[in-house]
Structure 1
Amino acid sequence: MSEEKLTHLKAIVFDWAGTTIDYGSCAPASVFQEIFRQRGVPITAAQAREPMGRAKRDHIAAIGAMPEVDAAWRAQFEGQAMTAEQIDEMYADFLPLQKATLGAHSQLIEGVPEMIAWCRSQGLKIGSTTGYTRELLDIVAAAAATQGYVPDCSLGVEDAPAGRPAPFLLHEAAKRMEVYPMWNIVKVDDTPVGIEAGRNAGCWTIGITRTGNCVGLSREEWAALDGEAQKRRIRHAAQTLESAGAHAVVESVADIAPVLYEFDRRLAAGLLPFA
Structure 2
Amino acid sequence: MNKIDAVILDWAGTVVDYGSVAPTTIFVEAFSQAFDFPITLAEARVPMGMGKWDHIRALGKLDSVNTRWVEQFGQPMSNENVDLIYRTFMPLQQAKVVEHAAPIKGALTAIAWMKSKDIKIGSCSGYPKAVMDVLVPVAADLGYAPDCVVASDELAAGSRPGPWMALENVNRLGIKSVAACVKVDDSVPGIEEGLNAGMWSVGIAVTGNGVGMTESEWQACDDQQRKLLTEAAYDALYEAGAHYVVDALADIVPVMQLINSRLARGERP
**Band the TM-score falls in, shorter-chain normalisation:** over 0.9
Higher mean displacement: 264-273 or 188-197: 264-273
Unaligned stretches of 5+ residues in structure 1: 1-5
The aligned residue for residue 48 of structure 2 is 52
Contact 1:186/1:203 (8 A) holds in 2? yes
1:53 CA displacement: 0.6
2:260 is the counterpart of 1:264: yes
Are 2:202 and 2:244, in contact at CA under 8 Å, matched by a contact in 1? yes
Q: What is residue 10 of structure 1 aligned with on the other side?
A: 5
Residue 70 of structure 1, CA deviation: 0.3
The amino acid across from 1:187 in the alignment is: K
Could you tell me which residue of structure 2 aligns to residue 147 of structure 1? Answer: 142
User: What is the match of residue 164 of structure 2?
Assistant: 168
Distance 1:82 1:7 in 2: 49
TM-score (norm 1): 0.95
CA contact (8 A) 1:204 1:247 kept: yes
Is residue 43 of structure 2 the alignment partner of residue 67 of structure 1? Answer: no
Q: Does the 8 A contact of 1:211 with 1:251 survive in 2?
A: yes
**Rounded Cα–Cα distance in structure 2 between residues aligned with 1:150 and 1:100:** 20
Match of 2:122 in 1: 127
How far did 1:159 drift? 2.4
Cα displacement (A) at 1:99: 0.9
> Partners of 2:209 and 2:199 in 1: how far apart?
21
Partner of residue 25 from structure 2, selected from 24, 30, 49: 30
Question: Are residue 243 (structure 1) and residue 231 (structure 2) matched?
Answer: no
* SS of 2:115 mapped into structure 1: helix
Q: Give the partner amino acid of 2:44.
A: A
Query: Among 154, 158, 161, which residue is 2:153 paired with?
Result: 158
Check whether the contact 2:51–2:153 (CA below 8 A) recurs between aligned residues.
Answer: no
Where does structure 2 lack aligned partners over 5 or more consecutive residues? none
Contact 1:208 1:253 in 2 (8 A): yes
- For 2:220, the equivalent position in structure 1 comes to 224
Find the aligned partners of 1:103 and 1:266 in 2 and give their Cα distance.
39
Residue 182 of structure 2 aligns to a residue whose secondary structure is strand
Q: More deviation in 145-154 or 53-62?
A: 145-154
Tell me how large the CA RMSD over aligned residues is.
Answer: 1.1
Pairwise CA distance, 1:148: 1.7
1:215 to 195, 211, 217: 211
Conserved 8 A contact 1:41-1:69: no
Find out whether 1:89 has 2:84 as its counterpart: yes
**Offset of residue 137 of structure 1:** 0.6
AA matched with 1:16: W
Q: How many residues align?
A: 267
Identity of counterpart residues, as a percentage?
43
In 1, Cα distance between equivalents of 2:98 and 2:170 = 29
User: Could you tell me the TM-score, scaled by structure 2's length?
Assistant: 0.97
Q: Which residue in the other structure is 2:200 paired with?
A: 204
- Within the candidate set 38, 42, 52, 1:42 is matched to 38
Q: Which amino acid aligns with 2:234?
A: A
Whole-angstrom CA distance in 2 between matches of 1:239 and 1:211: 15
CA distance in 1, matches of 2:16, 2:136: 10
Kindly provide the amino acid, as one letter, of the partner of residue 184 in structure 1: A
Question: C-alpha distance in 1, partners of 2:191/2:58?
Answer: 18
Q: Which runs of 4+ in 1 moved over 6 A?
A: none
Contact 2:27-2:44 at 8 Å conserved across structures: yes
